[in-house]
Amino acid sequence: MHTIRKIATRDASCLLIITTVTMSDLRRSAMLNSLPHMPTISPYAQDVDIDEGNEEEEETDSLGALPSMGPPPPKLHSKPRSLPNPQYAPLSAEGYFAQAAEVAVPASGLVFRVYYTPPALAPGASQKEGTVLVCHHGAGHSSLSFALFAKEVRERTRGECGVLALDARRHGKTKPLDDAKDDSDLAIDTLASDAYNLLVTIFPDPANAPTFVFVGHSLGGSVLVRASSRLLDAKYRLTGVAVLDIVEGFTIDALPHMHTLLDSRPEGFSTLEEAIEWHVANHTIRNPLSARLSVPCLVVPSTSNTGPKYIWRTPLRSTAPYWESWFRGLSSSFLSVRSARLLVLAGTERLDKELMIGQMQGKFQLQVVPDTGHMIHEDNPARLAEIIVEFWRRNEKVVVGVKKVGER
């Protein structure tokens, strides 16, 4: 049994959405300001209100952040506050993406939360003439870490380039399709299959799908590198893959210190404002505006009557068995991607030997964004948007005689 839902759009057109009644009863308000040419999300999807910033039960279901690869930050103990600090009040995602949706993907057994701003197309143009940046967050983060970046891309391209950001399994608001099913498998192949399955669900026809540019932060970069070959084999168009601040050698060497880094994290927080302030104070996120958008999704209300009111959605220690497999072989996989390649780092000292050789051979484009931490896309979204848009324009609209990045 199915119900048919309508989603409001700016031009007053309507998009029919089908969802199963067995899914959790979500809020019934319409999506905010959907642009035209939104692809039909099938077989199942349900619209959700993008203005989620003031609902604690909606804004707080994700896991904690994977610390940046550096010395442990000072441990800031959570202290109860008599009043929340308005300077760190959570913000709504309204205005940063055009749409929010939940997309059921039976192949993965998940209902994915996605945020989407479709590309603005000329009247009568089909969606295959557009380009969409597909953004995958790192371990412990969520799609809203790309909120400021998505807005910058839209403004710099005047809407010509769309942005689709997704929550991975056990992150953000993505959840099992069946509440009884286990979604704890975080193997790299599983995560790559999830990303692929989601894209082919939203854009089922390769011939009519937009051209994609992959943008993956940390673990998300590793996931999209692995997913790229499957997408190309299925005849989808992929202009390039951009990986943000992750290098195999540097990361593998840092893994033995991860548990020490996790010891510096508080067990939880008394308020959402305190959670946001902690991330800013210890420089996990250096941009307070972005932290106010993204951090509320990293914690959930505690069910215990004792201890902090908000706790991490999933303790990162529980993901430890996957850490090495997430990044082992990443450098060679990245260099073998069959499209243009871009690596964006916070510091050049993070290159490993394989990437150094690849850079000297011109196999990928390297950009460094100074004065940022591991969360480049949150710390300086304007500069990253400038880099990604230039990468897209250079490689998608190639002038005759000019080679793409990585081509010989």
Measure the CA–CA gap between 390 and 393, rounded to whole angstroms: 5
- CB atoms near residue 287 (< 10 Å): 19
* Catalytic pick among 47, 49, 194, 245: 245
- CB atoms near residue 209 (< 10 Å): 22
Alpha carbon distances (Å) from 295 to 55, 147, 186, 264: 14, 12, 21, 17
Measure the CA–CA gap between 356 and 45, rounded to whole angstroms: 44
Measure the CA–CA gap between 102 and 90, rounded to whole angstroms: 22
Helix (H) or strand (E) holding 376: helix 376-379
263 tagged catalytic: no
**Chain mean position to CA 158:** 22
* Catalytic pick among 68, 218, 228, 290: 218
Find where tokens 């939880």 sit.
268
**Amino acid occupying residue 37:** H
Q: Tell me how far apart the terminal alpha carbons of the chain are, to the nearest angstrom.
A: 54
205 tagged catalytic: no
143 tagged catalytic: no
Alpha carbon distances (Å) from 321 to 187, 211, 315: 9, 35, 13
Closest CA relative to residue 371, chosen from 260, 283, 261? 283
Asked whether the beta carbons of 241 and 228 are under 8 A apart, the reply is: yes
Asked whether the beta carbons of 342 and 364 are under 8 A apart, the reply is: yes
Measure the CA–CA gap between 366 and 353, rounded to whole angstroms: 14
Measure the CA–CA gap between 178 and 164, rounded to whole angstroms: 24
Asked whether the beta carbons of 373 and 286 are under 8 A apart, the reply is: yes
Q: E-assigned strands of 70-225?
A: 99-105, 110-117, 131-136, 161-166, 175-176, 211-217
Measure the CA–CA gap between 155 and 151, rounded to whole angstroms: 6
Measure the CA–CA gap between 298 and 141, rounded to whole angstroms: 7
Positions marked active-site: 218, 245, 374
